[in-house]
């Protein structure tokens, strides 16, 4: 049996570009949980059996659109709060990179959620949701 090659938490990065030229990407501090999801919206077509119209039909699916979403939660790091706040308030798209070990995806995205929560006796927390604004595609290094 061959042991699987795995990726450590510190090698999973959600990096946000600063828009400068040349652009600098940073992994905002404070996130202790991260996610990267890609979804495909589909239309379903019910395709009947021509030889037996009473038989259950099978669904065939066509991809209509694709979307990417990056999520993160953790502590509100004062080093990164301005990055999140300015991005959210601007409504602008920014270049993002997602890295998982040697794999990388890139594209434009918007910050769709910037939530700050707190509970007495604990540190202030943050939750962010970043959604694609066009394709998020694998990039070969």
The domain in which residue 130 lies consists of 9-39+66-138
CATH number at residue 22: 2.40.30
Q: What value does the mean pLDDT take over residues 37-52?
A: 96
Is 16 contained in some domain? yes
Burial of 65 (C-beta count, 10 Å sphere; 0-12/13-18/19+): exposed
Is 82 contained in some domain? yes
Whole-angstrom distance, CA of residue 71 vs CA of residue 75: 14
Is 60 contained in some domain? no
Is 98 contained in some domain? yes
What is the share, in percent, of the chain residues with pLDDT greater than 90?
A: 97
Q: What pTM was computed for the model?
A: 0.90
Of 69, 70, 77, 74, the residue nearest 126 (C-alpha)? 74
Of 119, 118, 125, the residue nearest 30 (C-alpha)? 125
Provide the domain count of the chain: 1
What is the share, in percent, of the chain residues with pLDDT greater than 70?
A: 99
């Amino acid at each position: 049996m061959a042991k699987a090659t795995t990726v450590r938490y510190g090698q999973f990065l959600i990096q946000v570009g600063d828009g400068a030229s040349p652009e600098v990407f940073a992994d905002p501090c404070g996130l202790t949980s991260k996610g990267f999801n890609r979804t495909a919206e589909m239309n379903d077509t019910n395709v009947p059996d021509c030889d037996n119209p009473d038989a259950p039909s099978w669904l065939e699916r066509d991809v209509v659109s694709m979307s990417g979403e990056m999520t993160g939660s953790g502590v509100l790091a004062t080093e990164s709060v301005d990055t999140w706040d300015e991005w959210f308030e601007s409504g602008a798209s920014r270049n993002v990179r997602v890295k998982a070990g040697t794999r990388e995806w890139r594209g434009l995205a918007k910050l769709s959620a910037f939530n700050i929560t707190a509970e007495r006796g604990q540190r202030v927390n943050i939750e962010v949701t970043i959604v694609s604004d066009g394709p998020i595609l694998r990039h070969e290094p």
